[in-house]
Structure 1
Amino acid sequence: MTDDAQILIAQLMTHQTLSRENKLVKRALTDEAFRLDIDTRLAACGLKFLDNVYADNVTLALAREIEPKIFGSREVWQNNNLGLARDGVALLVVLWAMIILPKRERQEAHQHALEDQEDMFGKDKPLPRAEDASMGISYRALLADFGDKLGRKTRMDINLGQLNKLGFIERRGDMILEGPLLDLMMDTDTLRDRIINGALADIFHRPAPREAAIIPFPQADAQGEAQADAQADALSEPLPEQ
């Protein structure tokens, strides 16, 4: 005998992703008892229901505690990213940074604008759909900016094909667009500051905080200053002749 929780889990395992507009997905996002039933069943299999308010889709993922038992030790795990080579993983991070982060900014700016408007009924104001806020990037621009660093055209084309097959991106002519998994499988809270203020700071034109380059030194007391002066005097004396 099947039930709605069983059907939803089976659909996710079969199709990998489902739209948030799906009837059972909507129920999972709003019905606490239904969601608890789904989470309990998935946890028994080492899985979790993965959703993101900024994304238009939901999916399943391994529970964090089970990942090392599936992917192996830390060293092996780092090289077991869905079969992606290092340059493929690097390309994935670049695409996430160039597509998802600007989309987030547009979604949040739109949300703040709505909140600033007067609303006598106090209705909830949902975020704009990802497909409306996500704009994608040009393949030619990506190749010009990152081709030399990511294996040039041949390697980039191979990795883009693999990312497209995995559901991270979609290709439409010259444009590379957000796929159903790009905003779901990346840990935004962990990566966002590291990307903007670190690896891609020059791309986003956001230099690292000046405070990070300042190393405070403790104030020396009077005894410490005297010892420092004595050491300086000793160093300044000429060496004896041999």
Structure 2
Amino acid sequence: MDQALNILLAKLLAQRFIPRSDPLARRALVDETFREGLERRLDDCGMQLLENPYAQYIAIGLKPEMEDWVFGEGENWLSNNMGLPRDAIALLVVVWALIILPKRERQIARAAQVGDTQSDLFGADKPITHGEEVSSGVPEDAIYADFGKKLGGKARFAMNLGQLAKLGFVVRRNKMIYEGPLLDLMLDYSKLAPRIINGALAEVLQLSGTQLALDTEGED
């Protein structure tokens, strides 16, 4: 088991994320002993496993109590460890709200209808999708038309979008933006979704909770 754990940890550190379909990733999700060994090894170096039953990938990240030590405190605090400026983070949140939020609402509704639950500590060996769930893409031009001026203008928008793609948050194809491997893992749905749905970011996103609900229904 030690060799398998070493391989999985090396892959996660080198590749930053791996698909749930990877044999060792599946083992970490369904084998309790293997999962506990992985979590102990990560905990020893201040890291934690990042996964949720709705995501297609798994990754690793800092434990919350290590953030101050790694990122600094007070004026030295860094908002992230990927070198993203504020306008890029704002763009990331907009893209997350337009792609992941509607997809997750559909997944949760479908899971509730068939009685699935996330109470299983180790999850399933594949995301809860009930049929292959593909997140909808959004046109780059549409996002720029709505938010481009607020996010720094055309040059900054293009540069930040390229950075998000390079980091694995989004995939760009034919002027469309699609979910990347890290988009559903690195942003905390439980914290961010209520802020968006309840209107804390409505002025930026120009979407109310009612509009989001209607958009979600329209995707089915």
For the aligned pair, the TM-score class normalised by the smaller chain equals: 0.7 to 0.9
Q: Counterpart of 1:203?
A: 206
Aligned length: 200
Q: Counterpart of 2:112?
A: 112
What secondary structure sits across from 1:204 in the alignment?
coil
What secondary structure sits across from 1:59 in the alignment?
strand
TM-score normalised according to structure 2 size: 0.83
Superposed CA RMSD: 2.4
Q: Which has the larger radius of gyration?
A: 1
Contact 2:20 2:58 in 1 (8 A): yes
Give the direction of change, closer, same or farther, for the CA distance of 1:60–1:134 in structure 2 (3 Å limit): same
Q: Counterpart of 1:26?
A: 26
Give the direction of change, closer, same or farther, for the CA distance of 1:44–1:115 in structure 2 (3 Å limit): closer
Which one-letter code corresponds to 1:17 in the other structure?
A: F
Q: Counterpart of 2:154?
A: 153
Contact 1:16 1:60 in 2 (8 A): yes
Contact 1:106 1:133 in 2 (8 A): no
Q: 2:6, 2:130 → 1: CA distance? A: 27
Q: Counterpart of 2:214?
A: none
The CA deviation string for residues 149-202 of structure 1, in whole angstroms up to 9 with x for no partner, is: 101111000000111111111101111011000110111111111112211266
The runs of 5 or more residues in structure 1 that have no matched partner are 117-123, 208-242
Q: 2:82, 2:104 → 1: CA distance? A: 25
- Alignment of 1:56 with 2:59, yes or no, is no
Q: 1:188, 1:176 → 2: CA distance? A: 20
Deviation of the 1:25 alpha carbon = 0.7
Q: Counterpart of 1:144?
A: 145
Deviation of the 1:105 alpha carbon = 1.4
Q: Counterpart of 1:9?
A: 9
Deviation of the 1:52 alpha carbon = 1.1
Contact 1:168 1:181 in 2 (8 A): yes
Contact 2:56 2:127 in 1 (8 A): no
The runs of 5 or more residues in structure 2 that have no matched partner are 117-123, 211-220
Q: Counterpart of 1:178?
A: 179
Q: Counterpart of 1:45?
A: 45
Identical pairs, percent: 47
RCO higher in structure (CA 8 A, sep ≥6): 2
Q: 2:131, 2:15 → 1: CA distance? A: 20
Which one-letter code corresponds to 1:192 in the other structure?
A: A
Which one-letter code corresponds to 1:133 in the other structure?
A: V
Q: 1:110, 1:103 → 2: CA distance? A: 11
Give the direction of change, closer, same or farther, for the CA distance of 1:115–1:126 in structure 2 (3 Å limit): farther
What secondary structure sits across from 1:48 in the alignment?
strand
Q: Counterpart of 1:91?
A: 91
The CA deviation string for residues 127-170 of structure 1, in whole angstroms up to 9 with x for no partner, is: 21897331121101100110111011110000001111111111
Q: 1:206, 1:107 → 2: CA distance? A: 18
